[in-house]
């Protein structure tokens, strides 16, 4: 009998492979970093062949580590960095250009022009997204416009486009299957999230031939079998989802109102809104979720640009700390921040403030402010920024959050999670398995092949490691939130004043 499900977690800085058993427990994993290319300021690329080779090598490494062969693997699921764009020749399999990574800003001018021409509303209505260079559409257009001969070849039907899931599915199946899933499609800014089709008007707007686009399938679906030259014995490729949607699924947020927050370099919050798309009045985006059946659901998504990154900044630039983990003990060494608030608006402020020009701001410094106060203010900013996004979601949906499931590197910090519970006034729950992104992909693949049979079975696997309940007095909490709001205003106000004067 097959023993395990394999998840391929293709992230921005590394490729990973994790093997899970029926209980959703990790039984083996391997990880490999790969090279980042910065050909010009603000540009970010990956080599698609290196994405593939690193993914293959971690697959083999994880299998060797656990002592399983392809025969023991019930299915394979993929989760991936979203929006990153690859265009390749369908005959030779050779990419015509490097992968343009989601972070790459090279097409922001193209997006500014579309906004100026009045396309924002139409794009929002159809795709649920706020026009941005982040999404795949303008990146595909850039490749077709800048790589010699690419447009002609694309029009002749010789080129394929894919996000990373699609590229891996195509490589794994030996070039047999050109497909993606709903969640990845919903991040391209070319997919109509209501009709669940590539949108012909958007394809025309970006001048992208429809024949390049992958077929769009459910996230839990038998895409195909791995080719003999890849794994010897074929493995079923049976799941795919973008990283954030995969984590939502891995956290078992299957129903409306359920929400997860991933505390990594940034924070990513997703709230399941069920079978109804919710249009945000607060600058959040609407996106498709991974489901166990043929129909995807909807979620609201909000992100915090600088979360764990502020802790890296304390360590690498200010040299105030030696390690991220040390912040927990430093925060506990003082009863509070002594009135200091730190807004890490290094790249502007996101939802719900949306001020691109805002910059990092600290208020409330006194002669008595210590390193511990300063570090604590930086750490607390993760919780305040999360609160801002949660409040925006609550207002958009008209209901309040009952609990927040958390994962990501910084969710290891108990101080952050306790403070988060206090500020949000709801419970914050950390599962035993915080590798929820990979777990989600494994679940999607395992469900498609009957390794797991129901969502209840998956829920039973979700085990609480620790729950944080609010304990802070309401008065104190409200005073802190007031302080944060003032600090946020200062971050925006300073930017405006500075611009006015310069």
- Give the one residue of 289, 327, 361, 385 binding ligand ADP; rule: CB under 6 A: 327
Residue 312, interface with ligand ADP (CB under 6 A)?
A: yes
Q: How far is the CB of 268 from ligand ADP (least distance, A)?
A: 9
Burial readout 458-470 (b: 16 or more C-beta within 10 A, e: otherwise) = beebbeeeeebeb
Whole-number Å distance between alpha carbons of 56 and 307: 31
Whole-number Å distance between alpha carbons of 284 and 267: 13
Residue 433, interface with ligand ADP (CB under 6 A)?
A: no
Q: How far is the CB of 351 from ligand ADP (least distance, A)?
A: 18
Q: Cα-flanking dihedrals φ and ψ of residue 129, to 5°?
A: -105, 155
Residue 408, interface with ligand ADP (CB under 6 A)?
A: yes
309/363 with CB nearer ligand ADP: 309
308/470 with CB nearer ligand ADP: 308
Question: Residue 280 forms beta bridges with which residues?
Answer: none
Question: Residue 273 forms beta bridges with which residues?
Answer: none
Strands (E), 182-328: 191-192, 197-198, 215-217, 220-225, 236-242, 259-263, 267-272, 285-289, 297-304
DSSP 477: H
Q: How far is the CB of 437 from ligand ADP (least distance, A)?
A: 9
What are the tokens at 186? 């919903």
Residue 308, interface with ligand ADP (CB under 6 A)?
A: yes
- Give the one residue of 202, 410, 421, 441 binding ligand ADP; rule: CB under 6 A: 410
Residue 162, interface with ligand ADP (CB under 6 A)?
A: no
Q: How far is the CB of 312 from ligand ADP (least distance, A)?
A: 5
Q: Which stretch binds ligand ADP (CB under 6 A): 44-52, 168-176, 386-394, 405-413?
A: 405-413
Whole-number Å distance between alpha carbons of 159 and 316: 43
Q: Which stretch binds ligand ADP (CB under 6 A): 274-282, 324-332, 441-449, 485-493?
A: 324-332
Q: Which stretch binds ligand ADP (CB under 6 A): 24-32, 66-74, 175-183, 309-317?
A: 309-317
Whole-number Å distance between alpha carbons of 70 and 236: 10
Residue 320, interface with ligand ADP (CB under 6 A)?
A: no
Whole-number Å distance between alpha carbons of 416 and 410: 8
Q: How far is the CB of 118 from ligand ADP (least distance, A)?
A: 35
Given a contact cutoff of 8 angstroms between Cβ atoms, the answer to whether 225 and 370 are in contact is no
Q: Which residues bind ligand ADP (CB under 6 A)?
A: 264-265, 308-309, 311-312, 324-325, 327-328, 408-410, 412-413
């Amino acid at each position: 009998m097959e023993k395990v499900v394999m998840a391929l977690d293709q992230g921005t800085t590394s490729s990973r492979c994790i093997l899970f058993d029926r209980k959703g427990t990790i039984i083996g994993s391997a990880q490999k970093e790969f090279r980042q290319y910065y050909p010009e300021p603000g540009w970010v690329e990956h080599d698609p062949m290196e994405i593939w080779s690193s993914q293959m090598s971690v697959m083999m490494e994880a299998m060797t580590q656990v002592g399983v062969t392809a025969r023991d693997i019930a299915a394979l699921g993929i989760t991936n960095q979203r929006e990153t764009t690859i265009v390749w020749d369908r005959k030779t399999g050779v990419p015509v250009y490097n992968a343009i990574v989601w972070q790459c800003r090279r097409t922001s001018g193209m997006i500014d022009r579309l906004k100026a021409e009045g396309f924002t509303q139409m794009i929002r209505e159809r795709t649920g997204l706020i026009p941005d260079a982040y999404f795949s559409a303008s990146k595909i257009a850039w490749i077709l416009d800048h790589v010699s001969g690419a447009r002609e070849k694309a029009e002749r039907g010789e080129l394929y486009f894919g996000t990373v899931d699609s590229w891996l599915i195509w490589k794994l199946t030996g070039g047999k299957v050109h497909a993606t899933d709903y969640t990845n499609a919903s991040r391209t800014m070319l997919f109509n999230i209501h009709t669940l089709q590539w949108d012909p008007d958007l394809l025309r707007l970006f001048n992208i031939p429809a024949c390049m686009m992958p077929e769009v399938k459910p996230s839990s679906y038998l895409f195909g079998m791995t080719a003999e030259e890849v794994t010897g014995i074929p493995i079923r490729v049976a799941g795919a989802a973008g990283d954030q949607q995969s984590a939502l699924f891995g956290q078992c947020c299957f129903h409306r109102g359920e929400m997860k927050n991933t505390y990594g370099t940034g924070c990513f919050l997703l709230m399941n809104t069920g079978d109804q798309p919710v249009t945000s009045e607060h600058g959040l985006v609407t996106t498709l979720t991974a489901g166990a059946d043929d129909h995807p659901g909807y979620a609201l998504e909000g992100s915090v640009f600088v979360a764990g990154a502020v802790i890296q900044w304390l360590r690498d630039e200010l040299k105030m700390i030696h390690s991220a983990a040390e912040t927990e003990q430093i925060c506990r060494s003082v009863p509070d921040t002594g009135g200091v608030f730190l807004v890490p608006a290094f790249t502007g402020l996101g939802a719900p403030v949306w001020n691109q020009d805002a910059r990092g701001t600290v208020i409330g410094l006194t002669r008595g402010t210590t390193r511990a106060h300063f570090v604590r203010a930086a750490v607390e900013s993760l919780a305040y920024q999360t609160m801002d996004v949660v409040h925006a979601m609550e207002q958009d949906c008209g209901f309040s959050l009952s609990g927040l499931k958390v994962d990501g590197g910084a969710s290891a910090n108990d101080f952050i999670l306790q403070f988060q519970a206090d500020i949000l006034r709801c419970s914050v729950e950390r599962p035993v398995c915080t590798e929820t992104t990979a777990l989600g992909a494994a679940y999607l693949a395992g469900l498609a092949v009957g390794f797991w049979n129901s969502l209840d079975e998956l829920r039973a696997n979700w085990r609480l490691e620790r729950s944080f309940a609010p304990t802070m007095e309401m008065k104190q909490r409200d005073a802190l939130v007031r302080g944060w709001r003032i600090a946020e205003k200062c971050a925006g106000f300073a930017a405006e004043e500075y611009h006015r004067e310069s």
